[in-house]
Amino acid sequence: MSIMEADLHTLKINDPFLGKYQQLVRDVVIPYQWDALNDRVTEAEPSHAITNFRIAAGLEKGEFYGMVFQDSDVAKWLEAVAWSLCQKPDAELEKTADEVIELVAAAQCEDGYLNTYFTVKAPEARWTNLAECHELYCAGHMIEAGVAYFQGTGKRRLLEVVCKLADHIDTVFGPGVNQLHGYPGHPEIELALMRLYDVTQKPRYLALVKYFIEERGAQPHFYDIEYEKRGKTSHWNTYGPAWMVKDKAYSQAHQPLAEQQTAIGHAVRFVYLMAGMAHLARLSHDEGKRQDCLRLWNNMAQRQLYITGGIGSQSSGEAFSSDYDLPNDTVYAESCASIGLMMFARRMLEMEADSQYADVMERALYNTVLGGMALDGKHFFYVNPLEVHPKTLSFNHIYDHVKPVRQRWFGCACCPPNIARVLTSLGHYIYTVREDALFINLYVGNDVAIPVGDRKLQLRISGNYPWHEQVKIDITSPVPVTHTLALRLPDWCANPEIALNGEVITGEVTRGYLYLTRRWQEGDAITLTLPMPVRRLYGNPQVRQQAGKVALQRGPLVYCLEEADNGANLHNLSLPEESTFRVFEGKGIFAHKMLIQAEGIGCHTTDSDALWQYDRSPVQRQPQTLTFIPWFSWANRGEGEMRIWVDEA
Amino acid sequence: MSIMEADLHTLKINDPFLGKYQQLVRDVVIPYQWDALNDRVTEAEPSHAITNFRIAAGLEKGEFYGMVFQDSDVAKWLEAVAWSLCQKPDAELEKTADEVIELVAAAQCEDGYLNTYFTVKAPEARWTNLAECHELYCAGHMIEAGVAYFQGTGKRRLLEVVCKLADHIDTVFGPGVNQLHGYPGHPEIELALMRLYDVTQKPRYLALVKYFIEERGAQPHFYDIEYEKRGKTSHWNTYGPAWMVKDKAYSQAHQPLAEQQTAIGHAVRFVYLMAGMAHLARLSHDEGKRQDCLRLWNNMAQRQLYITGGIGSQSSGEAFSSDYDLPNDTVYAESCASIGLMMFARRMLEMEADSQYADVMERALYNTVLGGMALDGKHFFYVNPLEVHPKTLSFNHIYDHVKPVRQRWFGCACCPPNIARVLTSLGHYIYTVREDALFINLYVGNDVAIPVGDRKLQLRISGNYPWHEQVKIDITSPVPVTHTLALRLPDWCANPEIALNGEVITGEVTRGYLYLTRRWQEGDAITLTLPMPVRRLYGNPQVRQQAGKVALQRGPLVYCLEEADNGANLHNLSLPEESTFRVFEGKGIFAHKMLIQAEGIGCHTTDSDALWQYDRSPVQRQPQTLTFIPWFSWANRGEGEMRIWVDEA
């Protein structure tokens, strides 16, 4: 089954909600990040990323500064620019990006090697520390940028640079006696090489991904071999010497993937790896790898996923925990992990036309990914808790990773540019463009033209998702096209209604998609009504952090209580089982957003100073109206308590 | 007001419950710990503590091994032996202890200095790192041992050693130009020197405590001065270089005690310091220090104390968190901290005849302190959580400090010998022996003879506390004595009833004590009836970890659910507000212990694999009998879930 990636030039997002986010990325995030990469944002931690490239290129004297993966910020910025240029040409921005690309090219070594940390700081140490040093990770991001820039602008300069880089890597790694039998400590290059393969069709890239994935976890272990070889030096010391080498599950390298049963270790590494693996499994028709993907997806989605689309239950190792361990306040749920989850879900969708993957993708997008960025586009969350009690954060060190409000930039700045690139490339997630059907996964408003044979199926999605129930799909093809449209029926919607040209229809529904095959012509209109009553969510009985609690969701949006609306001590509020909900449009920062109110139970508390009381609770229940806001928009009004899971009275 | 310490020779504990614990300490703990100190317990981590003394004494060649405070284990063992010998002479044990004391004396330097770590490993570094290196802490423990051994056996040998040590310290520290203006990073010597003052009445010891306490937190800061002076070396690196120097609140040295408003930092340090300070405040009639004690006690007891008598909400720094932050599962609640809390409470009681201190002391004793040791006397908890979910512990690193079952011994073995010494010296906590009255704080069964003028008031407390409601106090003095008895009326008892010689009486009750003044004579009998209905405890509304939850207490004992009785997933169980309780005697390890059953709510759960479900909880409630056991006895039946705070349905 051949699958095409939607061409973002012929896919224009005009969604009243996410369109604004794309505009924010264009107008604020990309310029702001450009300033940050050039150390012109005084209140943020220094980046030095561009300077590193200048030094590597011999254009400037100086020392490398930053994380060992600092290069990837430049790559992600370039990728975001590439996708942004598809949406809206911008000659000046493109010129800046072209200059950056020249700089990157100038920093590339003769043999194709490209990494400013090692080129500037330790050229002799190239490829000696795969477990810890992110060389292949940075390469992966640059490859993604090269592919994106080619797709976005048609310019081959960066694509050539990254092909040279990938070719070099392909000579260094492999089964040959003079090759390294290694693979990245931080997966990323797998998914990137698959994209490069899509664009170039060079089999060596696909073969290299296959090598990296199949070698992973083999014994004797590559991490140990290289560790001995380099004299047992270690780059990271966070949890003791060489912990990243020793804790092989941290990077999903403790055993071969075919033997792994659970989502484990660093959450971003896991989803990046799986995205590449699912892409490979599909293109190489590898049933074993397909089963590995399904098994590991299922463990993650059925036992380790938050309702916010967050993954990674713990700060230590930014990692998964164990089945059903989903703490709300000490959770990590890195923004990047949910972005990676969208990538993994997208690849699963391309492998299997099953809406469960789109459901998770949508959940991650509309909750954690959007929530990762402030409404001003200048502040970001790295960690996305489901419950925050700000007064405690600076005292109890189990919360050291949690910030009560979004920050401007980070020393380890992986999340902000990642949010930028995923929001600018949203079009790739909206559709799965298959030969046999056009799958509509997300109801983001857009105009698109999809090649079907030698014709084009053109359509427009409109509405005001995820706020309003009506989604309209207008066929705008000037020439009729026979094709199948597969519309995702979201898991959160109990009674979707579909009308074609005004008449309610029932079609074939398979694995969450409604299939409509027809000779589509201009004027055809599908109206999808997705009733959005407020729905109560209840946790799996195994999840102790949700026992006795309820969460609210409307459409794909998870809601929360904030102190700004409901006062402090949110833990004393509860929502009776029988309460009804009022949905209304908010004001100020909540304009065009739907809020929820419900009659809940608050409390009078006695003024007793005692830590406990016998026989009778000091909490006297009384009615209190509870106001819930969409969780992604929390912490836009300063510091305060927040919680998603509320006691059900 | 002169206060005398009860002489343990004339105080024989014959309590059916705690007497067994004393016997366990004598028969099992002391011999076991002696083996441990001599590295004869193969399954435990090595101690090397005795060997260190032999090396320091020049009796053996070798290197120091163990923690910088390893000496204190020997001191605590000697102290436990001393108190144990009061209860029950044991010539062989005393001989062993005498030999240890000779060894300690041999390890003492000419000038009085005594510390095997520095003597063996770094004699030139003496007193160069007060912030981190526990020299005064170890001295304090040895001083306590010297006092105890003198009191227990009448032998002066160790007392002389520690006087020489204390005199040496008194020359090193003080306001003189050639003296160090320092104080211990780990308080302990303050309370020890107060004990030494009690025994010797030498004013210099009291003055030295005053100096240590008043110098604490002064600027420029002593920790910084010595840090610079020794070339910025650091002994501990747990949370980064010199963290113990920098994080001055960790050792309550961030500001003068007179300015400190909250219980902060390492919990054991805090209570040890406060025990010494309260003792000093009383004996020096220092109203300022008395107010400091009251203020800091109140913050601790009213905002940072667990119902188990545990303190220290977090693992990081084994420390307090902030007001009302009392997590049940990530809590530290070190056994030693509750022992120190008993000491602090005892000193507060001696300062103020207010039963609130005895209430806390009792709570700590019957819950965390007893719980710190297994029923076999050979396994110990360092950390005492109020909720455990064993399956998660090895995956989520916020639980790295939590063990689901008690361990045999620890590399940092402060807790086991501390439990031994507090249990053997229980008599000191039962009574406050004042000139004006004999205060009975704890209803532990015992025979005692207390000097009153030139006579002796002899009495016997019997009953089966804390299991049975009746406590009997029989006067056994052959000669009548006029005196006041002050009986504590426990906070957990709503309707205590007191009968004197069979007639119910009402006496004067002041601050939780009932005062009975009379010419007491043999045959007089007080019967105290302390009704012990099961009581529900409700948390302060500020404590989010207890919201909507209830805990059970009977007498001073807090109860809990264990998986062994109630199945897994304890978080799905709830206790309706109207449930009644059945109290009954248990079997097996619960023989002679009272258990509680109540009709609660359990659940059927659907087999759905989904992590959440819309609209309707997958938990179907159904009646289930809940069995609660005394919390101190949890984890004596292998690994399983446990929780104290239960949802109230």
Element (H, E) at A348: helix A335-351
Burial class for B547, CB neighbours closer than 10 Å (0-12, 13-18, 19+):
buried
A330 in Cβ contact with A398 (< 8 Å) = yes
Indicate whether A124 pLDDT > 60.
Answer: yes
| Residues B286-302 pLDDT 10s | 999 999 999 999 999 99
The DSSP symbol for B571 reads G
Q: How far apart are CA A416 and CA A379, in angstroms?
A: 8
Query: Residue B537: which of A547, A614, A648 has the nearest Cβ?
Result: A614
Quote the minimal CA–CA distance from A560 to chain B in Å.
Answer: 16
| Residues B348-382 pLDDT 10s | 999 999 999 999 999 999 999 999 999 988 899 99
Q: Is A414 a catalytic residue?
A: yes
Does the distance separating the beta carbons of A610 and B538 come in below 8 Å?
no
A645 in Cβ contact with A307 (< 8 Å) = no
Q: How far apart are CA B337 and CA B368, in angstroms?
A: 9
| Choice among A215-229, B102-116, B414-428, B599-613 with the minimum mean pLDDT | B599-613
Quote the minimal CA–CA distance from B361 to chain A in Å.
Answer: 16
The DSSP symbol for A6 reads P
| Residues B434-478 pLDDT 10s | 999 999 999 999 999 999 999 999 999 999 999 999 999 999 999
Q: Are strands B574-575 and B646-648 parallel, antiparallel or unpaired?
A: parallel
Quote the minimal CA–CA distance from B577 to chain A in Å.
Answer: 9
Q: How far apart are CA A313 and CA A320, in angstroms?
A: 5
- Which residues in chain B are contacts of A492 at CB distance < 8 A? 614
Does the distance separating the beta carbons of B492 and A614 come in below 8 Å?
yes
Neighbouring C-alpha atoms within 13 Å toward the C-beta of B245: 23
Q: Are strands A497-500 and B574-575 parallel, antiparallel or unpaired?
A: unpaired
pLDDT band at B178 (very low <50, low <70, confident <90, very high): very high
What is the reported pLDDT for B204?
98
What is the reported pLDDT for B240?
84
Q: How far apart are CA B376 and CA B489, in angstroms?
A: 32
- Percentage of chain A modeled with pLDDT above 90: 91
Neighbouring C-alpha atoms within 13 Å toward the C-beta of A156: 5
What is the reported pLDDT for B585?
97
Q: Are strands A574-575 and A525-529 parallel, antiparallel or unpaired?
A: unpaired
Chain mean pLDDT for chain A: 95
pLDDT band at A273 (very low <50, low <70, confident <90, very high): very high
| Residues B531-573 pLDDT 10s | 999 999 999 999 999 999 999 999 999 999 999 999 999 999 9
Does the distance separating the beta carbons of A544 and B389 come in below 8 Å?
yes
Instruction: Copy the structure tokens of residue A500.
Output: 């074609």
Does the distance separating the beta carbons of A609 and B302 come in below 8 Å?
yes
- Which residues in chain B are contacts of A397 at CB distance < 8 A? 314-317
The C-alpha angle A274, A422, A137, rounded to 5 degrees, equals 50
Q: How far apart are CA B62 and CA B51, in angstroms?
A: 8
pLDDT band at A617 (very low <50, low <70, confident <90, very high): confident
- Tell me if residue A489 falls in helix, strand or coil: coil
Q: Which residues of B are catalytic?
A: 318, 414
- Which residues in chain B are contacts of A325 at CB distance < 8 A? 389, 392, 395-396
| Choice among A403-412, B112-121, B311-320, B635-644 with the minimum mean pLDDT | A403-412
- Cβ neighbours of residue B32 under 8 Å, at least 6 residues apart? B41, B377, B378
Query: Residue B540: which of A305, A395, A618 has the nearest Cβ?
Result: A618
pLDDT band at B607 (very low <50, low <70, confident <90, very high): low
Indicate whether A410 pLDDT > 60.
Answer: no
Number of Cβ within a 10 Å radius of residue A299: 18
Q: In what order do the strands lie in the sheet with A513-520?
A: A3-4, A431-434, A438-440, A481-488, A513-520, A508-510
- Report the helix count and the strand count for chain A, using DSSP H and E: 21, 24
Quote the minimal CA–CA distance from A563 to chain B in Å.
Answer: 14
Does the distance separating the beta carbons of A316 and B538 come in below 8 Å?
no
Instruction: Copy the structure tokens of residue A543.
Output: 């999840």
| Residues A469-487 pLDDT 10s | 999 999 999 999 999 999 9
Q: How far apart are CA B346 and CA B355, in angstroms?
A: 10
What is the reported pLDDT for A2?
81
Interface test with B, best of A617, A619, A624, A646 (most B CBs within 10 A): A617
- Cβ neighbours of residue B318 under 8 Å, at least 6 residues apart? B266, B267, B268, B312, B332, B334, B337
Does the distance separating the beta carbons of A316 and B398 come in below 8 Å?
yes
Q: Are strands B481-488 and B438-440 parallel, antiparallel or unpaired?
A: parallel
Q: How far apart are CA A508 and CA A502, in angstroms?
A: 18
The DSSP symbol for B397 reads G
Mean local confidence (pLDDT), B161-185: 97
Q: How far apart are CA B571 and CA A502, in angstroms?
A: 50
Distances in whole angstroms, Cα of residue A28 to Cα of each of A35, A85, A423, A644: 11, 15, 13, 29
Q: Is A293 a catalytic residue?
A: no
Does the distance separating the beta carbons of B396 and A539 come in below 8 Å?
no
Name the amino acid, one letter, at A505.
I
What is the reported pLDDT for B505?
94
The C-alpha angle A112, A117, A123, rounded to 5 degrees, equals 60
Quote the minimal CA–CA distance from A599 to chain B in Å.
Answer: 17
Interface test with B, best of A396, A399, A401, A549 (most B CBs within 10 A): A396
CA-based nearest residue to A323, from A305, A348, A341, A350 = A305
- Percentage of chain B modeled with pLDDT above 70: 99
Catalytic annotation, pick one of A318, A334, A562, A563: A318
Indicate whether B270 pLDDT > 80.
Answer: yes
Greatest alpha-carbon pair distance for chain B in Å reads 79
What is the reported pLDDT for B432?
98
What is the reported pLDDT for B198?
97
- Give me the torsion for CA of B216, B218, B221, B225, rounded to 10°: -80
Catalytic annotation, pick one of A138, A163, A336, A414: A414
| Residues A521-571 pLDDT 10s | 999 999 999 999 999 999 999 999 999 999 999 999 999 999 999 999 999
What is the reported pLDDT for B413?
65
- Tell me if residue A398 falls in helix, strand or coil: helix
Indicate whether A409 pLDDT > 70.
Answer: no
Q: How far apart are CA B238 and CA B224, in angstroms?
A: 19
CA-based nearest residue to A293, from A311, A313, A318, A276 = A276
Predicted model pTM:
0.95
Task: Encode B515-566 in three state secondary structure.
Answer: EEEEEECCCCEEEEECCCCCEEEEECCCCHHHCCEEEEEECCEEEEEEHHHH
What is the reported pLDDT for A463?
96
Instruction: Copy the structure tokens of residue A248.
Output: 């092989």
What is the reported pLDDT for B414?
63
Inter-chain contacts counted by CB atoms under 8 A, chains A and B: 168
Q: Which residue ranges form the domains of chain A, and what is each CATH number?
A: 3-431 (1.50.10.20), 436-529 (2.60.40), 535-648 (no CATH)
Q: Provide the residue count of chain A.
A: 649
Quote the minimal CA–CA distance from B389 to chain A in Å.
Answer: 9
Q: How far apart are CA A450 and CA B410, in angstroms?
A: 68
pLDDT band at B74 (very low <50, low <70, confident <90, very high): very high
The C-alpha angle A302, A305, A311, rounded to 5 degrees, equals 145
Query: Residue A538: which of B571, B574, B612 has the nearest Cβ?
Result: B612
What is the reported pLDDT for B214?
98
Instruction: Copy the structure tokens of residue B644.
Output: 């104290």
Does the distance separating the beta carbons of B541 and A569 come in below 8 Å?
yes
What is the reported pLDDT for A604?
77
ipTM, two decimals, is 0.94
Does the distance separating the beta carbons of A330 and B330 come in below 8 Å?
yes
A47 in Cβ contact with A67 (< 8 Å) = no
Number of Cβ within a 10 Å radius of residue A110: 7
Does the distance separating the beta carbons of B398 and A314 come in below 8 Å?
yes
| Residues B577-587 pLDDT 10s | 999 999 999 99
Mean local confidence (pLDDT), B35-48: 85
Q: How far apart are CA B10 and CA B460, in angstroms?
A: 11
pLDDT band at B490 (very low <50, low <70, confident <90, very high): very high
Q: How far apart are CA B402 and CA B383, in angstroms?
A: 6
A564 in Cβ contact with A640 (< 8 Å) = yes
Q: How far apart are CA B330 and CA A298, in angstroms?
A: 29
